[in-house]
């Protein structure tokens, strides 16, 4: 099987050294296996995505010396695919509408007898306020958030399993019952987007036949959700390569707003792509 990797930035700010490390790691992995490298623009959050950031992503990556296949998949052009995936999960009775806002969730999750609310990959684990006792029937609603009923979704799945190809290399296997307590009923369609990061990334990784998902270790807690969704939708599971993060001098993860470390800032200062590779330890 040919290796296919991808770099999947969101065009919500300038790419920084951490993105350069991630993109170069994915690119080199593909090259080392004589494989293919794809770029995907993750712009489902249209309130934050901007065309100028997308244009700058292409400039920065080309400047770094990367090449990728075209056309580039842009998630905002692919909403129908996410909608079809939601239809499938709705028909299986695994989704339910949720009208809670953040405040409702933290109030319900921090009832005095419960102690501090438990945190999952998306923040507070959903306390289940809107979860119905029977799966909803009828057509899927569109003007409301949809959550995955994780207890129901994991009923017939004993474990979620995947291979890690990165620093934490090996076979990972988690009893799916653990997902009920550590992840909870995640949102798969946000009311304002009609999809979510988890759903879109799983649909696209499958559609693009990605064999190695290369991304930062900050996204590792989302991997069990992604593997579960792949199992529910009949998609293959890729190998995951969660790389370490590039941090600032204080040990903090670099953020999009951290303009000082933007690739374009270094380029304007006269740094070369070779300097960047050296700065991220990939000389």
Radius of gyration of the chain (CA): 20
Question: For residue 198, what are the contacts with CB-CB under 8 A and spacing of at least 6?
Answer: 186, 188, 222, 225, 226, 229
Scanning 4-12, 28-36, 159-167, 229-237 for contacts with ligand GLU by CB under 6 A, the matching segment is 4-12
Q: Other CB atoms closer than 10 Å to residue 207's CB: what's the count?
A: 13
Q: Distance between CA 218 and CA 195 in Å, rounded?
A: 21
Closest separation between CB of residue 75 and ligand GLU, Å? 9
238, 26 Cβ separation under 8 angstroms? no
Scanning 5-13, 83-91, 101-109, 128-136 for contacts with ligand GLU by CB under 6 A, the matching segment is 5-13
Closest separation between CB of residue 215 and ligand GLU, Å? 3
> Which residue from 147, 215, 242, 243 is in contact with ligand GLU, where contact means CB under 6 A?
215
Q: Distance between CA 130 and CA 283 in Å, rounded?
A: 51
β-strands 145-148, 95-98: how paired?
Answer: antiparallel
Closest separation between CB of residue 6 and ligand GLU, Å? 8
Scanning 7-15, 99-107, 131-139, 265-273 for contacts with ligand GLU by CB under 6 A, the matching segment is 7-15
> Please, which residue, 42 or 185, has the CB nearer to ligand GLU?
42
Q: For the stretch 101-130, what's the b/e string if a residue is b when 16 or more beta carbons lie within 10 angstroms of its beta carbon?
A: eeeebeebbeeeeeeebeebbbebbbbbeb
Question: For residue 272, what are the contacts with CB-CB under 8 A and spacing of at least 6?
Answer: none
> How many Cα atoms sit within 13 Å of 69 on the Cβ side?
10
Closest separation between CB of residue 202 and ligand GLU, Å? 9
- According to DSSP, residue 70 is labeled S
> Which residue from 20, 105, 201, 262 is in contact with ligand GLU, where contact means CB under 6 A?
201
Q: Other CB atoms closer than 10 Å to residue 7's CB: what's the count?
A: 23
Closest separation between CB of residue 58 and ligand GLU, Å? 15
Q: Other CB atoms closer than 10 Å to residue 198's CB: what's the count?
A: 20
Closest separation between CB of residue 12 and ligand GLU, Å? 8
Scanning 3-11, 52-60, 80-88, 184-192 for contacts with ligand GLU by CB under 6 A, the matching segment is 3-11
Closest separation between CB of residue 65 and ligand GLU, Å? 21
CA atoms 121, 122, 125, 129: torsion sign: negative
Asked if 97 is part of the footprint of ligand GLU (rule: CB under 6 A), the reply reads no
Convert residues 8-47 into a mask of x (bound to ligand GLU by CB under 6 A) and - (unbound): xxx-------------------------------x-----
How many residues make contact with ligand GLU (CB under 6 A)?
Answer: 7
> Please, which residue, 108 or 245, has the CB nearer to ligand GLU?
245
Q: Other CB atoms closer than 10 Å to residue 254's CB: what's the count?
A: 18
Scanning 6-14, 121-129, 140-148, 151-159 for contacts with ligand GLU by CB under 6 A, the matching segment is 6-14
Residues near ligand GLU (CB under 6 A) are 8-10, 42, 201, 215, 219
């Amino acid at each position: 099987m040919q290796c296919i990797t991808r770099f999947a930035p969101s065009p919500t700010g300038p790419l920084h050294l951490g993105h350069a490390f991630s993109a170069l790691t994915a690119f080199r992995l593909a090259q080392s296996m004589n494989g293919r490298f794809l770029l995907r623009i993750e712009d489902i959050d249209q309130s934050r995505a901007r065309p100028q950031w997308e244009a700058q992503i292409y400039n920065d990556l080309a400047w770094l010396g990367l090449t990728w296949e075209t056309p580039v998949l842009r998630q905002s052009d692919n909403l129908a695919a996410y909608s079809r995936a939601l239809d499938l999960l709705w028909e299986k009775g695994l989704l339910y509408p949720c009208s809670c806002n953040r405040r409702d969730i933290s109030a319900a999750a921090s009832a005095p007898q419960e102690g501090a609310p438990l945190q999952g990959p998306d923040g507070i684990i959903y306390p289940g306020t809107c979860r119905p006792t029977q799966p909803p029937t009828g057509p899927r609603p569109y003007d409301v958030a949809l959550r995955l009923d994780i207890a129901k979704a994991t009923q017939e799945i004993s474990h979620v399993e995947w291979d890690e190809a990165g620093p934490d290399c090996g076979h990972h296997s988690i009893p799916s019952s653990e997902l009920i307590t550590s992840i909870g009923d995640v949102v798969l369609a946000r009311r304002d987007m009609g999809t979510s990061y988890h759903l879109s990334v799983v649909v696209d990784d499958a559609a693009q036949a990605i064999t190695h998902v290369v991304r930062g270790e900050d996204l590792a807690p989302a991997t069990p959700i992604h593997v579960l969704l792949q199992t529910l939708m009949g998609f293959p599971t890729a190998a995951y390569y969660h790389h370490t993060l590039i941090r600032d001098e204080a040990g903090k993860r670099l953020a999009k707003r951290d303009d000082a470390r933007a690739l374009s800032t270094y380029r304007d200062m006269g740094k070369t792509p070779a300097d960047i590779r050296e700065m991220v330890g990939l000389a």
